[in-house]
């Protein structure tokens, strides 16, 4: 199985492309293999699956005490997936990277701890599957507002459907420094 790891301008954020085998029955694609994905150097402890409708935007979320690295795949539909560097002291602090992931383009993204993560749904619906390097800790989740003008993400939706929590998230400049992860070089 051919797998390509593509570094991005954001340190540690990697776009992964894997081979897909199709025939008259459908297709087969490997979305994770501990040996093949060894270059990530990560052990994954939790798997999640979310279903969302068109124009739903989830995020931007991060964990501070138990930060999660995330390997994101789309099983059905299409999303625009975003990572924002929120690590104090990072040379790319406040910068973002986005990529379209779909069930047909064979792309995944790995977002390491220290980044806020979010996505919006471009298709009628999307099933998003992601593996996490740490277990979810409900008391350790923080948010960054999706529309922060200082980050200036070029979202492909103008009026997304948001949760109440995501609607009330602060801008990056409003988050106290002690509630941001620290850059470790």
Q: Are 146 and 160 in contact (CB under 8 A)?
A: yes
Q: Identify the active-site residue in 24, 32, 61, 115.
A: 61
Which one is catalytic: 37, 110, 115, 130? 130
Q: What is the DSSP letter of 32?
A: -
Query: Catalytic: 61?
Result: yes
What is the dihedral angle through the alpha carbons of 65, 180, 142, 57, rounded to the nearest 10 degrees?
A: -130
Contacts of 12 (CB under 8 A, 6+ apart): 110, 111, 112, 114, 115
For the chain, strand residue ranges (E) read 3-7, 14-18, 20-23, 26-29, 46-53, 57-63, 70-76, 78-85, 96-102, 107-111, 115-121, 125-132, 141-143
- 110 an active-site residue? no
- Report the first-to-last Cα separation within the chain, whole angstroms: 33
Catalytic residues: 61, 130
């Amino acid at each position: 199985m051919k797998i390509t790891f593509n570094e991005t301008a954001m340190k540690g954020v990697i776009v992964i492309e894997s081979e897909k085998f199709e025939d008259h029955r459908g297709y087969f694609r490997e979305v994770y293999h501990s040996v093949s994905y060894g270059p990530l150097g990560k052990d994954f402890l939790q798997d999640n699956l979310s279903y969302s409708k068109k124009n739903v935007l989830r995020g931007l979320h991060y964990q501070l005490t138990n930060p999660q690295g995330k390997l994101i795949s789309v099983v059905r539909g299409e999303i625009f997936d975003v990572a924002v560097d929120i690590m104090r002291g990072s040379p790319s602090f406040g910068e973002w990277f986005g990529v379209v992931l779909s069930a047909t383009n064979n792309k995944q993204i790995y977002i390491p701890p220290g980044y806020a993560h979010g996505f919006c749904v471009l298709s009628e619906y999307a099933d998003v599957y992601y593996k996490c390097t740490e277990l979810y800790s409900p008391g350790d989740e923080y948010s960054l507002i999706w529309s922060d003008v200082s980050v200036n993400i070029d979202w492909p939706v103008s009026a997304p459907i948001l949760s109440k929590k995501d609607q009330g998230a602060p801008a990056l400049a409003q988050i106290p420094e002690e509630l941001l992860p620290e850059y470790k070089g």
